[in-house]
Amino acid sequence: MVEEYCAHNEKMRKKGGGTVRVASYERRWCPPNDAVKVNVDAHVSVDGGVGLGAVIRYHRGKIKVDVVLRIKASWKPEVAEAHAALYGVQVASRLGFSKVVLESDAMQVVNAIIREAKGALPIFLFYDEINSLKFYFDSFNCNHVKRRGNCVAGLIARGEVAEGSERVWLDPIPQNFCNLAEIDLI
């Protein structure tokens, strides 16, 4: 049933013909069998800090890696989301994954990555870096996912870590992350 669901989503995504359409998914946790899905999110806190979270899953939805990075910054949410996308791509690259599906609930960020947007604002530095890194992968796709389909990355972005530090969970993955990830599979 899960494989049929994924095949149907892929078929619907390809129906756009020659135009570029960005589909929004509530739950699109199943990339191709040999790829990983990297969900990213950012959390801008009132104290001026920004949390960047990423969760990397295998095609069956099993969590491989959870990471959070906390930095001192006073950014607007879109800038923080762009940095979260870059952070997720950097982590996937550092860990040696060759086929990556990046997902974010920030539609403007996803559109900018897909269109390979260029500009003079500082946010475009993040997009430029993502676009240069994606060529190191055998396969790279970027999708928009609705916020309720990105809950695990959102929870991770809010993780309690010291400013300027990164926390990586490989094994065991905290139970609260696993429980939330299992809800995505329903």
pLDDT of residue 7: 62
Tens digits of residue pLDDT in 124-178: 999 999 999 999 999 999 999 998 888 888 988 998 888 888 988 887 777 767 7
Q: Domain boundaries in the chain?
A: 2-184
Superfamily of structural domain 2-184: Ribonuclease H-like superfamily/Ribonuclease H (3.30.420.10)
pLDDT digits (tens, 9 = 90+) for 76-102: 999 999 999 999 999 999 999 999 999
- CA dihedral of residues 151, 152, 153, 159 (deg, nearest 10): 110
Q: Give the residue, 108 or 13, on which the prediction is more confident.
A: 108
Give the Å distances, CA to CA, from 25 to 107, 114, 149: 11, 16, 7
Dist. CA 29–CA 150, nearest whole Å: 9
This prediction has a pTM of 0.81
Ramachandran quadrant class, 128 (left: phi over 0; alpha: psi -120 to 50; beta: rest)? alpha
Q: If you average pLDDT over every residue of the chain, what do you get?
A: 83
Give the span between the Cα atoms of 100 and 140, in whole angstroms: 5
Q: Would you tell me how many other CB atoms lie within 10 Å of the CB of residue 145?
A: 26
For residue 3, the model assigns a pLDDT of 60
